[in-house]
Amino acid sequence: MFVLDRTAKYVSLVLAVTAASVIAVIMVMTTADVIKRFLTGASIPGTTEFSGVFLVAAVYFGLAYAMRTGAHVGVDLVVMRLRGGAAKAVKLVGLIVGTGILAWMLVETTGAAVHSISVNEYRYGIVKIPIWPAKLAIPIGLAALILECIVTLLKVVRGERAASGDEPSIDGAPRNVTGV
More confident residue, 86 or 118: 118
Does the pLDDT of residue 123 top 50, yes or no? yes
In a domain, 172, yes or no: no
Residue 73 lies in a domain: yes
144 domain-assigned: yes
- CA–CA distance, 25 with 78 (Å, rounded to integer): 41
Quick check: 15 pLDDT over 90? yes
Is residue 168 pLDDT above 90, yes or no?
no
CA atoms within 13 A on the CB side of 92: 13
Q: What's residue 163's pLDDT?
A: 66
The single-letter code of the amino acid at 103 is A
**Tens digit of each residue's pLDDT (9 = 90 or more) over 129-166:** 999 999 999 999 999 999 999 999 999 998 887 665 54
Residue (of 86, 94, 78, 101) closest to 162 by Cα position: 94
Q: Which range among 51-65, 77-91, 134-148 shows the weakest confidence by mean pLDDT?
A: 77-91
At 180 the pLDDT is: 37
8 C-beta neighbours (distance < 10 Å), count: 22
- Residue 6 located in a structural domain: yes
Note whether residue 169 is domain-resident: no
What's the confidence (pLDDT) of residue 124?
A: 81
Residue 175 lies in a domain: no
Q: Quote the pLDDT of residue 120.
A: 94
Domain that includes residue 74, residue range: 2-162
Q: Residue 99: pLDDT above 80?
A: yes
Give the integer Cα–Cα distance in Å for 15 and 140. Answer: 9
Pick the closest to residue 17 from 52, 58, 51 (CA basis): 58
Provide mean pLDDT across the span 9-16: 96
**CA gap 44, 127 in Å, rounded:** 10
- What total number of domains does the chain contain? 1
Cα 81 to Cα 3, 88, 116: the distances in Å are 33, 12, 46
pLDDT at 172 over 60: no
